[in-house]
């Protein structure tokens, strides 16, 4: 699937007023059309604490950018200057904000701007500013037709890219594009069942669409149990199971699918820490609900906690021993 998502990278010449990066760089001071601008140097005081060794190109570009913004110049050359500045530092919020002013004032083609920002996203996939700019462009256009595909491509390279997921969720929710999202999530889980972002996306989609009614709860529990039977040592799936059961009327206990699954794992002598922790939480829930069960369930819960502390999850030994002391303080008769 990932191979099918790979597309040709957008070159600088295809993007909005970005210039041709293959051409030799001409400093602004040597450009006749910039002769009227006096660059404004960054003033860090006489004794800068940590002076950054900027390249000459970087320093000059931002000196001219400061001069242009001080004049509040609205021009094609100022727009091109923002392209140069963003190619040097795409994380600079001030440059993006000024560029947005120029986009509106100069009535630039926003579809070309989508190409420009996509190129920068491809090179800087975890840069908040580029995704923010993309969102504003989509809002202005009122068209998200290109963005589900874009996020899918970016997630094929890094399936846990928080910024891509955040943008995708915004697109889905704002433009109501949920129709095929569960199928997409299932493809991701087929590729990597431990992909916590995909499990989170599944929960997001259901919350925003059908909600967790009884029919959906049963369907999701069956889906999760089937996944855990293939790979029980998957914390993401166990977390999802808990999330679904939050919406069930009897909590962690009582649902037929879960009861049968727990009996199955106990019969298999499952030694997975996530299962043992789940059993402890189920017992605590029952003890909170019915005090008469404390005498029977507290020793069982404590047995699993000791097993977690010494065998199945010793790296968190102190936490499990603390939990044991806590349960005793709450439920000892």
Catalytic residues: 126
Cβ count within 10 A of residue 67: 18
Task: Give Cα 248 distance to the centre of its chain.
Answer: 27
Q: List all residues 6 or more positions away from 64 whose beta carbon is below 8 Å from its beta carbon.
A: 28, 34, 37, 39, 40, 81
How far apart (Å, rounded) are the C-alpha atoms in residues 320 and 304? Answer: 9
Token pair belonging to 22: 């293959």
């Amino acid at each position: 699937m990932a191979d099918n998502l790979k597309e040709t990278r957008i070159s600088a010449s295809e993007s909005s007023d970005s210039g041709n990066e293959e051409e030799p760089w001409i400093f602004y001071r040597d450009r006749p059309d910039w002769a009227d601008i006096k660059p404004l140097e960054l003033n860090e005081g006489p004794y800068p604490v940590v002076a950054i060794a900027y390249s000459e190109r970087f320093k000059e570009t931002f000196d001219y950018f400061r001069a242009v913004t001080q004049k509040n110049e609205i021009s094609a050359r100022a727009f091109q200057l923002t392209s140069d500045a963003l190619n040097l530092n795409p994380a600079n919020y001030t440059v993006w904000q000024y560029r947005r002013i120029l986009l509106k004032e100069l009535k630039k083609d926003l579809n070309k701007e989508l190409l420009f920002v996509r190129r920068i996203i491809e090179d800087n996939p975890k840069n908040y500013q580029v995704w923010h700019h993309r969102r504003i462009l989509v809002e202005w256009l009122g068209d998200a037709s290109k963005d589900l595909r874009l996020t899918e491509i970016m997630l094929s390279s890094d399936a846990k890219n928080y910024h891509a997921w955040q943008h995708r969720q915004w697109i889905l929710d704002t433009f109501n594009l949920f129709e095929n999202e569960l199928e997409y999530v299932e493809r991701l889980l087929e590729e990597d069942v431990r992909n916590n972002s995909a499990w989170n996306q599944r929960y997001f989609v259901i919350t925003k669409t059908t909600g967790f009614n009884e029919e959906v709860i049963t369907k999701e529990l069956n889906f999760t149990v089937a996944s855990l039977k293939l790979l029980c040592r998957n914390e993401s799936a166990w977390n999802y199971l808990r999330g679904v059961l939050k919406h069930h009327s009897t909590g962690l206990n009582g649902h037929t699918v879960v009861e049968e699954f727990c009996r199955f794992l106990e019969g298999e002598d499952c030694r997975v820490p996530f299962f043992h922790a789940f059993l402890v939480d189920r017992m605590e829930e029952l003890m909170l609900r019915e005090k008469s069960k404390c005498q029977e369930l507290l020793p069982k819960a404590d047995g699993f906690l000791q097993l977690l502390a010494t065998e199945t999850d010793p790296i968190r030994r102190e936490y499990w021993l603390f939990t044991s002391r806590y349960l005793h303080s709450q439920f000892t008769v």
